[in-house]
A and B are shown apart, each in its own frame.
Chain A
Amino acid sequence: MNTKEKEKYIEEFDFPHCDESTKYEKVAKIGQGTFGEVFKAKEKNSNKKFVAMKKVLMDNEKEGFPITALREIKILQLLKHENVVNLIEICRTRAAQYNRYRSTFYLVFDFCEHDLAGLLSNVNVKFSLGEIKKVMQQLLNGLYYIHSNKILHRDMKAANVLITKNGILKLADFGLARAFSANKNGQVNRYTNRVVTLWYRPPELLLGDRNYGPPVDLWGAGCIMAEMWTRSPIMQGNTEQQQLTLISQLCGSVTTEVWPGVENLELFNKMELPKGQKRKVKERLKPYVKDPFACDLLDKLLILDPSKRYDSDSALNHDFFWTDPMPCDLSKMLAQHTQSMFEYLAPPRRPGHMRHPHHPVPGGPAKPSSSMADSGYQDRVF
């Protein structure tokens, strides 16, 4: 910033501040999870613009403002990209007697009409191959961007992929995201492995890896991609163990041959790993996914060994995106649907199924697991 720029900056300077949330009017609740609630809201002034307001959950917060929310805010301030949800501002309610003089904070986002889980659960929404390509291309573009900014999303799932009515995809919910660093001078990272919704959790996390990186998000991308055809999550385990079993049944047994070094993971000997399973990703998905390139890309994303798993760059270079039919705009298809589709609002996909399976919020306010407190687990993250 040179002197002139500085002068201009100072001239236009306004002390940063938080507006009151009363400038928005809540319209409907569109999401609920361990993180709190999400509302659709309308700006009260002449703009009448729609926004999404995410409440920062603060009950039971004994240590003040949650570090996870601080991270989310910092990360969202850092990330500005077409395929990442845009944080407009942070609002607060007025502190008054009824809230014991503790105001509530809201993150205010640009409103997106749909989420992918909502769209996929609606049988009337049909994606053509070109449209699926467009969805995946945008998803991988978003991942490429956040990973090159050294951010891990850590909660990839269809419900966290938003799509505007114009067909622009946005990665959302950075509530579990964090910055990562490459291992330097042999110092390994010790991140928490209690992240990512179980159905989308990659094998390395299930085996207790704490030194993971971007591949954890690419596994989720693979799961989401398959879901574009199967229309429901492809591996719906109820427990970590069951999830690992399901993964083995699809991707083959977890062995040191296919995954050198896996034996060093903390839980490798503690989990029951099915033996003699053959890899049948293509075989099992072929009935749904007719396109051979799609099958091949899925095969590359759902690789057990994270170091061999495709990264977003090589995935974007895959022939899937560069053969006919080319990725095509989604807006025309979405124009046929006037109603917002969110997973939260959709009827349960299958009766009896949990809608929010094991959403992990380790250390979070909901239920601080005792195992963490006891085991001297220093990763206070959450």
Chain B
Amino acid sequence: MGTQKEKEKEKEKDKDKDKDKDKDKEKENSNQSAGGKNAKSYGKIVLTLQNCLLPEEKLNSTPSHSDGLDTETETDLRILGCELIQTAGILLKLPQVAMATGQVIFQRFYYSKSLVRHNMETTAMGCVCLASKIEEAPRRIRDVINVFNHIKQVSSQKTIQPVILDQSYVTLKNQVIKAERRVLKELGFCVHVKHPHKIIVMYLQVLGYEKNRALMQQCWNYMNDSLRSDVFLRHQPETVACACVYLGARQLQLPLPATPAWFRLFKVSESSIRDVCRRVLRLYARPSISAEQLEKRVDELRRRYEEARAKARGGEVDGHTPSPPLPKHHNAWGGFISRSGTHAAPERAKSPRHSRSTSLSPSRTDIAKHGKRKKHSSRSRSRSHSHSRSRKPKKTQRRRSGSHKSSRSHYRSRSRSRDRGGDPDKTGKHRNKHRRH
């Protein structure tokens, strides 16, 4: 098969690369010992608290890309992952800074590893766990799994069920632990992120707008939304801060000093501000995604990848860590889409989608359980309402109205629609309210 050959070729290439690297290192070292002066250089390790910026070619040719994932699908997957982290963070009552860190390291990670080979949702969970520790608000892995499970059920209109403590839970937990380590390893422990929130406050103070809460909130909204794009891998937090101020002020039609241009005070160029703005605004213009298609795409690629690897393995044993087998109920999408009947479908066959899912035999639900669920389903639904915060009346209302057009989560469409009309400020506010303090 062509793919297999390609894979092999790639492997060889990688080997060659490694060799080259080693050679380079040796060269470096011999240079040093010859020079004798600078004994302190350890290959190319960067230990830094600074934000990592990636060069253009790294941003364009990602590992997922070389596994055959097209740019659009990858972008969508990244956005979805970030949204998961954000939503999970809200439900876990994490400080916003933890969600921000989680999203940035999630983005960074997938510039080093492929979305095809490393399950997006598990990595997102690992990032939440890790970020909660980094930002000194640790959460238990168990809670993270529960919350992800909850989001999944809410977004697919399922009855809210607690996670069952079975073997697949244990497997999943172990995978999350491994995902967390993998992120640390891949990022060389450079997992501390400098966020622009404080910088925005400072800049607005300088600009004399510190009392304008609406502007401040608007800027922060843009800032929090920008985490879904790759601007944090392209620009320094100061630049992102300027862009958010720019966007916020424009939205509220507030003047900023033009001569000399205000951003020059912060040593940021106009072109980079524009670049950030464009990338952030592009988020709102993206069409909604067919999650099913995304899933199919990744599934297919993963299957192909695994086949190729199984064949390549035939004789030689490579040292590559095998990606752990996924638990059965856990599809590439982490079961985000209500497809298979791993969770019993609600008894009210409201939409054709649901009735379809009942026809599939659930992998680990027996009929007795099913019946039981029927009884409680209405109660557990209302429980889901109490779960959502009282601060967010809009969301609850929407959910109650039951107008689920797409299978995509409400969290998602809500954030998307933010700038395309409606009342962006309000939407943003209740989403971001608790972060202000």
Contact = CB atoms under 8 A, between A and B. Distances in A.
B382 interface: no
Contacts of B54: 10, 13, 15
A92 B133 CA distance: 20
Given A64-B130, A77-B47, A13 B192 contact: no
A76 to B, nearest CB: 8
B249 to A, nearest CB: 23
A60 to B, nearest CB: 12
Interface in B142-190: 176-178, 180-181, 184-190
B188 A64 contact: no
Contact of A16 (B33, B187, B319): B187
A46 B111 contact: no
A47 B190 contact: no
Given A45-B26, A96-B319, A16 B133 contact: no
Nearest to A91: B45
B39 A49 contact: yes
B189 A90 contact: yes
Contacts of B184: 18, 65, 105
Given A45-B29, A89-B45, A16 B141 contact: no
Contacts of B134: 70, 74
B48 interface: yes
A128 B269 CA distance: 59
B138 A63 contact: yes
Contacts, number: 125
Interface in B95-139: 111-112, 126, 129-130, 133-134, 136, 138
B273 interface: no
Given A15-B112, A65-B130, A70-B133, A10 B185 contact: no
A133 B47 CA distance: 34
A61 B180 CA distance: 13
Contacts of B236: 1, 6
Contacts of A125: none
Given A47-B29, A64-B129, A88-B42, A103 B176 contact: no
B319 A94 contact: yes
Contacts of A3: 269, 272
Contacts of A13: 52-55, 58
Interface in B77-106: none
B44 interface: yes
Contacts of A74: 49, 134, 192
Among A16, A88, A89, the one with the most B-chain Cβ atoms within 10 Å of its Cβ is: A16
A13 B130 CA distance: 24
A94 B319 CA distance: 8
Interface in A102-134: 102-103, 105
A95 B174 CA distance: 14
Interface in B308-347: 319, 321-322, 324
Interface string A347-365: 0000000000000000000
A135 B58 CA distance: 48
A63 B321 CA distance: 21
A14 B49 contact: no
B138 A67 contact: yes
Among B190, B238, B322, the one with the most A-chain Cβ atoms within 10 Å of its Cβ is: B190
Interface string B18-57: 0000000110011011000001001111111100111110
Contacts of A73: 189
A16 B192 CA distance: 12
A188 interface: no
A9 B192 contact: no
Contact of B185 (A6, A18, A78): A18
A176 B49 CA distance: 20
B123 to A, nearest CB: 13
B241 to A, nearest CB: 13
Contacts of B49: 74, 77-78
Given A15-B58, A89-B45, A67 B133 contact: yes
B420 interface: no
A64 B181 contact: yes
A64 B43 contact: no
A92 B191 CA distance: 16
A63 B53 contact: no
Contacts of B133: 64-65, 67, 70
A63 B29 CA distance: 39
Interface in B178-221: 178, 180-181, 184-192
A82 interface: no
Nearest to B184: A65
B321 A101 contact: yes
Contact of A101 (B178, B189, B190): B178
B19 to A, nearest CB: 15
Interface string A6-23: 100111011111110000
Contacts of A105: 181, 184-185
Interface in B262-292: 267, 269, 272
B140 interface: yes
Contacts of B178: 101-102
A380 interface: yes
A301 interface: no
A169 interface: no
A16 B55 contact: no
Nearest to B132: A67
Contacts of A6: 53, 236
Among B178, B180, B272, the one with the most A-chain Cβ atoms within 10 Å of its Cβ is: B178
A13 B267 CA distance: 22
A302 interface: no
Contacts of B141: 62-64
Nearest to A5: B236
A16 B188 contact: yes
B130 A16 contact: no
Nearest to A110: B40
B48 to A, nearest CB: 7
Nearest to A100: B174
11 contacts: A14-B44, A15-B52, A15-B112, A18-B185, A19-B45, A46-B33, A47-B29, A62-B141, A63-B138, A89-B47, A105-B185
Interface of A: 1-3, 6, 9-11, 13-19, 45-47, 49, 61-65, 67, 70, 73-74, 77-78, 87-90, 92, 94-96, 101-103, 105, 179, 380
